[in-house]
């Protein structure tokens, strides 16, 4: 099934409703690999943010405009597919690490962008990466797809 067709067949009329049908809702914690798979299947641009204040106080369009002249891997955000490709290329054991210690992303927002005048809108999701100093490798793994308190 073509990606745009897969997206159009999801229940709902808005990007928020369609993402919700996939379990992608604000406040939910989702494995980065699941987000990547949904991105590829449904054509959703998923952006991972490294700065809590940035993802919570600015729109995706504002952030993209602010950092458009900054090289991709120096920005405080990255697309999920680019993040996974980069990390796997630079650390062959990364895939096994993700199986042992899933990287859980907090969904912050869903919506759609208009990449160019006259083009079709593209659904997007913004998510917050966990901070390394907040990771507790001795703790029980987080529950997947359980809304977190805001």
What number is the average pLDDT over the span 35-51?
A: 96
Q: What is the mean pLDDT of residues 23-40?
A: 96
Q: 57-68 burial string, b = 16+ CB within 10 Å, else e?
A: ebebeebeeeee
pLDDT, tens digit, for every residue of 92-112?
A: 888 888 888 899 999 999 999
Residue 134 has pLDDT above 70, yes or no: no
Residue 146 confidence (pLDDT) above 70 = no
- Rounded (5°) CA angle 74-79-61: 85
Could you tell me the two tokens for 48?
Answer: 């991972």
pLDDT grade for 135, boundaries at 50, 70 and 90: very low
Residue 20, C-beta contacts closer than 8 angstroms, at least 6 positions apart: 12, 110
pTM of the model: 0.84
**Phi, psi (rounded to 5 degrees) for 132:** -55, -35
* Mean pLDDT computed over 68-81: 95
């Amino acid at each position: 099934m073509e990606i745009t067709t897969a997206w159009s067949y999801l229940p709902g009329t808005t990007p928020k409703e369609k993402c919700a049908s996939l379990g992608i809702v604000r406040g939910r914690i989702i494995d980065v690999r699941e987000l990547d798979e949904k991105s590829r299947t449904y054509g959703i641009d998923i952006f991972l943010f490294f700065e809590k204040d940035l993802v919570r106080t600015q729109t995706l369009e504002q952030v993209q405009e602010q950092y458009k002249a900054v090289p991709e891997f120096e920005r405080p955000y990255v697309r999920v597919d680019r993040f996974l490709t980069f990390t796997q290329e630079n650390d062959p054991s990364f895939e096994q690490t993700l199986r042992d210690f899933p990287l859980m992303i907090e969904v912050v927002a869903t919506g759609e962008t208009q990449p160019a005048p006259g083009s079709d809108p593209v659904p997007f999701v913004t998510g917050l990466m966990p901070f390394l100093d907040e990771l507790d490798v001795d703790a029980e793994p987080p529950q997947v797809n359980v809304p977190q308190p805001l």
